[in-house]
Amino acid sequence: MVKDLISIFGDSVSGLADRVFEKINTDEFSLILAGGKPLFFEIEGQLFPTVRGALELGLQQRLVVVDKGAVRFVSNGADIMSPGVVDADPEIKEGDFVIIVEETHRKALAIGKALMDGPQMVEADSGKAVKSITYVGDKIWSLEI
């Protein structure tokens, strides 16, 4: 499992190798606890960081950067519209899971699924760029273990 994450996020997740992993299944998702913290979830057969996981691990790949005006909408679960995207990892392909961050401090706000390639997110004048999946303050974020 850690090997899959290293292939996406590099050495920033290699420190997880010594943690104990537990899997919790719910009706909506499978959550992966690393050292008792909900750092990952399984979606569409893939492992991806939760918002908490992205923050704790300081991940810098698969980022979609939104402007200040988009922050409150993204933090409430809104999908990400292209006009609010100021930067995006050029490696992002449509269908990839991505980490949505705010532009000032580059802190994670949400996890979503790319609806277009990274460069297109920045260039497009309209349309949805990312479908929001989980965000700061939702039930995954608020989960108490």
> At 110, which helix (H) or strand (E)?
strand 108-114
83 part of a folded domain: yes
pLDDT at position 19 is 75
58 part of a folded domain: yes
d(CA 11, CA 8): 9
Domain count, the chain: 1
Main-chain dihedrals φ then ψ at residue 72, nearest 5 degrees = -65, -30
pLDDT at position 1 is 59
Domain that holds residue 101: 2-135
Q: What is the mean pLDDT of each run of 10 residues along the chain (145 residues)?
A: 68 70 83 86 88 90 96 96 97 97 96 98 96 93 74
pLDDT at position 144 is 64
The Cα-based distances of 6 to 45, 78, 131 in angstroms read 17, 29, 24
pLDDT at position 45 is 84
144 part of a folded domain: no
41 part of a folded domain: yes
33 part of a folded domain: yes
Paired with 24 in beta bridges are 31
CATH number of the domain to which 58 belongs: 2.30.130.10
63 part of a folded domain: yes
145 part of a folded domain: no
Q: For the whole model, what pTM was predicted? A: 0.91
